[in-house]
Amino acid sequence: MDLASPKHTRNISRSSRPRSSTKGPLDDPNDPLNAEAAPQPQGTADECGYTGDSFLELDPLTLDDLPETLGKDLSFLLRYDIYHSLSQVDIPHALRSEFVGLTSEESLSSCLGTLEKLLAEGHFLLAAYLSGTILTSSLISPNDIKMIFSLFYTRLACLELSGNTIIAAQESKALEDLSSTFYYVDQAPRTSDVENEEKTSLFPRHIVPWPLRVLAVRLQSIGFGDSRRGIGGLYEIGLEARREIMRPDLSSAERNIWKERLTDLGIRSVNALIEMGDLSTARRSLHNLQTSGSDETNKLRKALLFLLIGDIDAAKQLSGESDETKISISKPLLSMAEGRYDDAVTEWRALLESSSNRPDTAIVSQNMAVCLLYTGRLNEARQTLESLVHGGQSFGGLIFNLSTVYELCSDKSGQLKAGLVDLVAREPATGHTNLDRPNADFKL
């Protein structure tokens, strides 16, 4: 899209900042993720928390502390030509559902209620369609930045979840340069010192919700065909996260949120380097990457990236430093990385037997089935995967793997896959997985 308006001019003060030739905001040794590096908050601040509509998964510290009226015109995101037509032609007939449109009498609140219902059920393609329809309707004011960004984020996220990443990448380009001055407002820090309030310097605050900014970095790098743009974008918002962490007026809860964001950006930057094929840089960045506090989830993500680039020794060392009760899945993953699939089967089975109500039971069972397949126990692998589907625990990877097993064990795999489609279509809607599954999931 071509917007010649000065509102999209480049933020000169940000873009002209000299950058280090060796270190960036995501691998600086003086990391604010170290608790001792962050300043202690001065005065008091309210605990952060978002109380908006449940489907608008905006996290705190984005729009909650901004003025209600910012005078920003987002009509460039309401243009009909931005949004691509969506089709269900690549979805099996048994899984298709009718797109939900708008009627002339329908209100915005009823539309949002319908959208929330679609998301709760897991109809992500239908939710993407409805989000775009609402954005291009007369129900939205160009100045309602909170609603527009929320719907736009829902549109992009649902497109990606439903396997339409390329379409999402093209539509994300409508945001143009998210580091432009248009997307910033000046805001005073929260302080209890009223007498010196006039002397307090303002700080820039981005008006776009953090989840949308992070998602847009990746999608725009795909849309513009420039992987380096994605790395640069992550480092740019990483600088902002560091600045926010060092603010003296934040509460400890708010500072922890920014620390978690910075950790997440570091992991995403390594993943982006791996996708670029630059494994040597990814390895160096991963070794320098610090994680916030004792977050075992981020440590596991880091260990998985080490396995992805083939640094098994580093993954073993990181797994040994972690809480065994929370990161115990690293042991069978290491066995798989070293080609010891018999050991991995034993270890995956031990995990399943250790707890009957694990939240990741389906993932663990699927991994065990894959290891069974690699060890030649095709029938056991098939039984394990089919039991998950019959139990209503199917997801994209599981369905694809079961379809592969059908191809390996029968010359009537087409009929077996068709039966699998019907079985999946009868599963109850949980909202945890995509119901609008494409033919590719079933290898049809």
Q: Which three-class secondary structure string do you get for the chain?
A: CCCCCHHHCCCHHHHCCCCCCCCCCCCCCCCCCCHHHCCCCCCCCCCCCCCCCCCCCCCCCCCCCCCCCCCCCCHHHCCHHHCCCCCCCCCCHHHCCCCCCCCCCCCHHHHHHHHHHHHHHCCHHHHHHHHHHHHCCCCCCCCCHHHHHHHHHHHHHHHHHCCCHHHHHHHHHHHCCCCCHHHEEEECCCCCCCCCHHHCCCEEEECCCHHHHHHHHHHHHHHCCCHHHHHHHHHHHHHHHHHHHCCCCCCHHHHHHHHHHHHHHHHHHHHHHHHHCCHHHHHHHHHHCCCCCCCHHHHHHHHHHHHHCCCHHHHHHHHHHCCCCCCCCHHHHHHHHCCCHHHHHHHHHHHHHHCCCCCCHHHHHHHHHHHHHHCCCHHHHHHHHHHHHHCCCCCHHHHHHHHHHHHHHCCCHHHHHHHHHHHHHCCCCCCCCCCCCCHHHHCC
Task: Quickly tell me which residue has 């580091």 as its tokens.
Answer: 179
With cut-offs at 50, 70 and 90, classify the pLDDT of residue 71: confident
Closest by alpha carbon to 25, among 180, 184, 241, 210? 241
With cut-offs at 50, 70 and 90, classify the pLDDT of residue 21: very low
More confident site: 355 or 123: 123
Beta bridge pairs of residue 184: 206
More confident site: 161 or 55: 161
pLDDT tens for 37-58 read 443 333 333 323 222 333 444 4
Read off the pTM.
Answer: 0.82
Residue 197 has pLDDT above 60, yes or no: no
Q: What pLDDT was estimated at residue 378? A: 94
With cut-offs at 50, 70 and 90, classify the pLDDT of residue 321: low
Tell me what the mean pLDDT of segment 230-246 comes to: 91
Q: What pLDDT was estimated at residue 35? A: 44
Extents of the domains making up the chain: 52-187
Residue 15 has pLDDT above 50, yes or no: no
| Mean pLDDT estimate for the chain | 81
